[in-house]
Amino acid sequence: MYVVVTAFVPTDNDFTKGGTVVPVACVRVGKMVKAKRDSFKRVYALDGTWKNPPIPENKLQSKGDIRFKSFELTGSNEGTQKKPKISLLKMYQDTIIPALEEKVVNRFSNNGQVRVCIVKQEDGAGPHNCTTYQHGMKQIFAEKEWLLFNQPSQSPITNVHDVCIFPMMSKCVSKEQAVSFNSNMLRSEELDTCVKKVWADKKNLYAMSKSFVAHPQIVSSILEHDGDNNFLNDRGKLSYGVRRMYHCTEDGEGVMLSDLAPESEADTAAGRYYNERIARGLKFDKPDLRTFEKGFLTDDMSDILQSYMSFDDMPEDVSEYWAKLLLEDAEDVELEFGDDGDIDGLDMQAP
C-alpha cells in the first residue's frame, strides 16, 4: 500500500486554462524491520499441499536481515512495539506537509510575494474518519490557512487519483513488470522499484495534468444529471474533449490550452484539421456560479476565502453571489459596493 499525494497549480487559478502538476509524495505504508527468523520458499507437493523446507538454495532471508514490512494504516494509532501500526496523521506531520511546503508553497510563492493556499480533498476511507486524525489535520490546515474538505460520498469519480492517476500508474507498473522482469510475479521490493520508477517518470506528468483539467468536466456531468451517476453507463461517459483542447507544456510538467493552428498552416490540410478539432471544444462550458441556489461554505472556508479572494476581476453579479456565501445571514444583508469595487463589510485582499 502507498499513500499518494498529488498537487495541481492551475494557471491564473483557473483549471480550464491548464496548469502544472506536482507529484508531492508516494509513501510506502510500513517500516524497515529485522527478520526474526530464517525464511524459505514454498515447495508444493503433487496433491497441492506445501511446506517450507530449510533448503539453502530456497532461502529468502536470514535472521537479522533488514527488510520492509507492511503494517496497517490507521488515522492516528501507532500501535504497540510488538504490533506497530502506521499513523496517517504522523505521516502528514513528518513527511507530506513538509513536502507540500517545499514542492508547492515555496516553489510557487514567488519568494513570498504570492500567497499559496493548499486545498486538500479527502475520501471516506477509514483512517480519514479517525477523530484524532481529523482534529490534527484541521489544526494544521487552520494554522497554515489551507482548506480541507471531504469529497461526496460514494463518488470516487470526483477523485482524480481514483479516476485517472491510479489506473495510469497501474498500467505503467504492469508495463515495467513486462519489460524489466519478463512479466514474472514481482516480489515486494521489485514491485516497490516499479512503483517508484513510474512515480518519478516525468513522462507521466502529462496524463496526471489531464486528470486535473478534466475534473471540472466531471463536476459539470454530475450537475447536468442532477447528482445521478447513471451517465457513467453511457457510451463515451468520460470523454470530454480534454485531449483535443490541451497539450503538454514545454517543460513537460503540465498542460495548456491548445491554440488555433498558426496562420502559416491555416490553409493546409493539417491546419484545417487542427482548427476543426479545437473548435469542437470541451463537452461542457463552465458552470454558472449564480445558479447554485443551495451553495454554502463552512466557517473555515468562509474565513480563509475572505483573506484570499479579490473582487477586482469579477462582474458585479458574481461578486454579489460570493458575498452572499461569505456573509452570515446573507438574505438580510443589503450589499453595497465601495468606490474601490469591493463589497462593504468584507475584508478582501488580492491573492
234 or 53, greater pLDDT: 53
- Which is nearest to 216 in space by CA: 281, 149, 305, 287? 287
The confidence band for 50, taking pLDDT boundaries of 50, 70 and 90, is: confident
190 or 19, greater pLDDT: 19
The parent domain of residue 236 ranges over 215-279
Residues above pLDDT 90, as percent of the chain: 14
259 or 96, greater pLDDT: 96
Tell me, yes or no, whether 59 lies in a domain. Answer: no
Q: Mean of the pLDDT values across residues 329-336?
A: 42
Of the candidate ranges 69-78, 91-100, 212-221, 259-268, the one whose mean pLDDT is the lowest: 259-268
Q: Are residues 146 and 23 in the same domain?
A: yes
Q: What is the pLDDT of residue 325?
A: 76
Last residue of one domain, picked from the residues 245, 279, 313: 279
Last residue of one domain, picked from the residues 98, 115, 150: 150
Tell me, yes or no, whether 13 lies in a domain. Answer: yes
Q: Are residues 79 and 137 in the same domain?
A: yes
Helix (H) or strand (E) segment spanning residue 195? helix 188-200
Tell me, yes or no, whether 179 lies in a domain. Answer: no
Q: Is the Cα torsion angle 337, 339, 341, 343 positive or negative in sign?
A: negative
Of the candidate ranges 59-73, 252-266, 312-326, the one whose mean pLDDT is the lowest: 252-266
Q: Are residues 223 and 259 in the same domain?
A: yes
Q: Mean of the pLDDT values across residues 153-178?
A: 84
Q: Are residues 235 and 99 in the same domain?
A: no
Check pLDDT > 60 for residue 96. Answer: yes
Q: Are residues 23 and 136 in the same domain?
A: yes
Q: Are residues 257 and 117 in the same domain?
A: no
Tell me, yes or no, whether 117 lies in a domain. Answer: yes
Check pLDDT > 60 for residue 277. Answer: no
Report helix, strand or coil for 350: coil
Furthest-apart CA pair in the chain: how many Å? Answer: 88
Q: Are residues 346 and 296 in the same domain?
A: yes
- Only one residue has cell 438574505, namely 331
The 10s digit of each residue's pLDDT in 227-256 is 777 778 777 677 777 887 888 888 888 888
Q: Is the Cα torsion angle 284, 288, 289, 291 positive or negative in sign?
A: negative
C-alpha pair distances (Å), 282 with each of 55, 238, 259, 271, 288: 62, 12, 14, 19, 16
The 10s digit of each residue's pLDDT in 38-48 is 777 788 888 88
Please provide residue 268's backbone torsions phi and psi, each rounded to the nearest 5 degrees. -85, 165
Residues above pLDDT 70, as percent of the chain: 85
Q: Mean of the pLDDT values across residues 70-82?
A: 86
327 or 8, greater pLDDT: 8
Torsion of CA 189, 191, 192, 193, to 10 degrees: 90
Report helix, strand or coil for 238: coil
Q: Are residues 4 and 77 in the same domain?
A: yes
Tell me, yes or no, whether 257 lies in a domain. Answer: yes
Of the candidate ranges 1-5, 276-280, 308-312, 347-351, the one whose mean pLDDT is the lowest: 347-351
Q: Are residues 11 and 141 in the same domain?
A: yes
Q: Are residues 273 and 316 in the same domain?
A: no
Tell me, yes or no, whether 201 lies in a domain. Answer: no
Tell me, yes or no, whether 183 lies in a domain. Answer: no
Q: Are residues 248 and 342 in the same domain?
A: no
Q: What is the pLDDT of residue 339?
A: 45
Q: What is the pLDDT of residue 158?
A: 84
Given a contact cutoff of 8 angstroms between Cβ atoms, the answer to whether 163 and 222 are in contact is no
Tell me, yes or no, whether 111 lies in a domain. Answer: yes
The 10s digit of each residue's pLDDT in 98-157 is 999 999 999 998 888 888 888 898 888 888 889 999 999 999 998 998 888 888 877 888
Contacts by 195-204, CB closer than 8 A, 24 or more apart: 195/2, 195/26, 195/169, 196/26, 198/169, 198/172, 198/173, 199/4, 199/23, 199/26, 199/169, 200/23, 201/172, 202/252, 202/253, 203/252, 204/168, 204/169, 204/172
Check pLDDT > 60 for residue 88. Answer: yes
Amino acid at 120: K
Q: What is the pLDDT of residue 278?
A: 56
Q: Are residues 22 and 77 in the same domain?
A: yes
Check pLDDT > 90 for residue 164. Answer: no
Domain count, the chain: 3
For residue 25, what are the β-bridge partners? 5
Q: What is the pLDDT of residue 295?
A: 67
Last residue of one domain, picked from the residues 102, 135, 150: 150
Q: What is the mean pLDDT of the chain?
A: 79
Q: Mean of the pLDDT values across residues 326-345?
A: 46
Count Cβ neighbours within 10 Å for each residue of 121-132 and write b for 16 or more, e otherwise.
ebbeeebeebee
Q: Mean of the pLDDT values across residues 334-339?
A: 44
What is the Cα–Cα distance from 317 to 56, expressed in whole angstroms? 78
Check pLDDT > 50 for residue 173. Answer: yes
